[in-house]
Chains A and B, each alone.
Chain A
Amino acid sequence: MSDETRVSRRALLTGAALTAGGVLLERLPLGATPAGPASIDPSTVPGTATTATSARSPFENPARTPAGILTGPAYSPIQEFSGTITPNDLVFERHHGGVAIIDPKQYKLLIHGLVDRSMVFTLEDLKRFPSVSRVHFIECSGNGRNGYREAKPGHTPQMIDGLTSNGEWTGVPLSLVLREVGVKKSATWFLAEGGDAAKLSRSIPIEKAWDDALLVYAFNGEPLRPANGYPMRLLLPGFEANTCVKWLRRIKLVDQPNMSRDETAKYTDPLPDGTARQFSFVMDAKSIITRPSAPSRIQRGWHEISGLAWTGRGKIVRVDVSTDGGKQWFAAELQEPILSKAHTRFRLMWEWDGRSATLMSRAVDETGYVQPSFAEFEAGRGPGTDFHFNHIRSWIVRPDGVIEYGVGV
């Protein structure tokens, strides 16, 4: 007879079930109903039993959107997040050939090209290297297209900037793995290629490999989710997410960029002078107020204005907030710790007086770079530019309290 059964019998006899550890649900006295949503006072009935994995509260339903896309983005609900860490199941998605499902026992990484030894590493091999954990954002360089080229008043923070996520990545510095194969001096770039249906490939300057590039296998304490590259992806802190090749299966050391599709036909930035900017890897400083924001309606009185700021060039040093469309700016409070190439939470308390207001945030990074206004961005990049949309985002608060995205503001 197990301890649990003994406890359960005693519980049935004495009614002391709630004081005993390890009571199983089915052994509770008849008539005891676990509390559910909109149930009776939860302090008067037993709660639900333990589960293998936690579900969200039935009152919380954050979701990426759209779902069911094989080649395209699913935006993360950034307006529903607190702090800076993105929950694993809500990290944004962007795939070019669907989510590859890879057996970790079959996984291997090939490194070849201009190396002393062409080598193959299994997942277990890569986990034998010294590991590091670092908090970084990862952002699609197409993030913000809905706030610029395809702007609508009803757009939410999710639809405007939901292609950025932040958390703690664990993996091995690429530099350590490259020392194992021995990189020839003639290698100036490396090609990173995925094992998905798109076999997505990008050329990266070798300097990034020696700097802070990581081969990551975990995010926020657990293995990567398949949608984010399980079992292994490249992480290039501060670089556009397309370069952080998921399902990484091959690294080839080369002496010139390949000029692959995703570094020429796509992920280049056409400019007003009749050129297209190429290898625009770094994500410049950016911020967005996530609360209050569309589609909410606010009441007069005090509100916390809160949002996220980040830069691919290091740390955020300042975020200014305006409630009058940029005439006056106030220094927002930045949540510590402020980490390099990571989301930074900013806050400012604001008393709304019931008149029209325009809420804006402006990030400044440690290089002195200031997030540009919409007008400055449009003049510099042109209405047709296609990536790296980092202009100031605006929320219009109408006198009735309804909030809309500030199109072209």
Chain B
Amino acid sequence: MIARSRMAVVTGAALVTLIALIGLASCKRETPPAQSSGALANEPQTALADARPAPSVPTRFGTIGRRATDAEIHAWNIDVNASGDGLPAGRGTYARGATLFAAQCAPCHGSHGEGIPPFPKLIGREPRDGFPFGREAKYAKTIGNYWPYATTVYDYINRAMPFPAPGSLHPDDVYSLVAFLLAENEIVDRRTVIDARALRNIRMPAHDRFVVDNRVGGHVFR
């Protein structure tokens, strides 16, 4: 590039190039002097050699963003994982859950958790045997037949329900709704008090059904 433009200046044959050089020279006058940096400082200065490599940037800028406060983390750190990390103190009962469900959940999910489309069915163990959801489309997926962890039932209700007012439920309310839904799905009995420890110890019917993706591209369809 530099060699070619020098030749153009020398021969005067490339008028367009000359105009471009004049343009660049005038730009150069308006540009603040580039930072002197090592090896490049000894390079011969020509009209097109004034653009230096961009300065290297640090791995960490250190001046963008700020430390989070404990209060900020506490307010948003709502997730409960499969192991039950994040479950709060509190406890819930079937009776309280049934009352809450009728008032706050049944309008969308039906009084028996049967689902009012487009809102999903929540309660039901059919089919009793196997896990035929891939072979047949007729079975609705519920908490009883398709949800692999009791702990994350708490997580989902707590973060997203009830639909018109997500996040409005007290931990005891959420535990109670989980107690109701697990009992209606015949996973615990109605006398079971649900708290963090209870949820960690429940093994859901669909627990062993999930397998990690084995598709990798290539010629084989999976």
Contact = CB atoms under 8 A, between A and B. Distances in A.
A368 B217 CA distance: 7
B133 A270 contact: yes
Nearest to A278: B210
Given A130-B57, A264-B147, A279-B213, A258 B133 contact: no
Interface in B170-222: 206, 209-219, 221-222
Contact of B212 (A182, A278, A284, A369): A278
Interface stretch (A23-31, A39-47, A219-227, A374-382): A374-382
B132 to A, nearest CB: 7
Interface string A86-130: 000000000011000000000010111000011111100100111
Contacts, number: 189
B68 to A, nearest CB: 4
Nearest to B214: A277
A128 B119 CA distance: 42
A71 interface: yes
Interface residues of B, number: 60
A70 B143 CA distance: 22
B64 A274 contact: no
B137 A265 contact: no
A380 B222 contact: yes
Interface stretch (A10-18, A53-61, A249-257): A249-257
Q: Is the interface of A mostly helix, strand, loop or mixed?
A: loop
A313 B217 contact: yes
Residue from B138, B139, B149, B160 whose CB has the most chain A CB atoms within 10 Å? B160
A280 interface: yes
Contacts of A201: 79, 159
Interface of A: 71-72, 96-97, 108, 110-112, 117-122, 125, 128-130, 149, 179-180, 182, 191, 193, 197-201, 249-250, 252, 254, 256-261, 264-265, 268-282, 284, 313, 365, 367-370, 372, 376-377, 380-386
Given A108-B72, A119-B67, A260-B152, 10 more contacts: A97-B160, A112-B77, A120-B68, A201-B159, A260-B156, A261-B155, A276-B134, A277-B214, A365-B217, A368-B219
- 7 nearest CB pairs, A to B: A367-B217, A270-B133, A382-B134, A259-B82, A270-B134, A384-B137, A118-B68
Interface of B: 57, 59-62, 64-68, 72-73, 76-83, 118-119, 130-139, 141, 143, 146-149, 152, 155-156, 159-160, 163, 166-167, 206, 209-219, 221-222
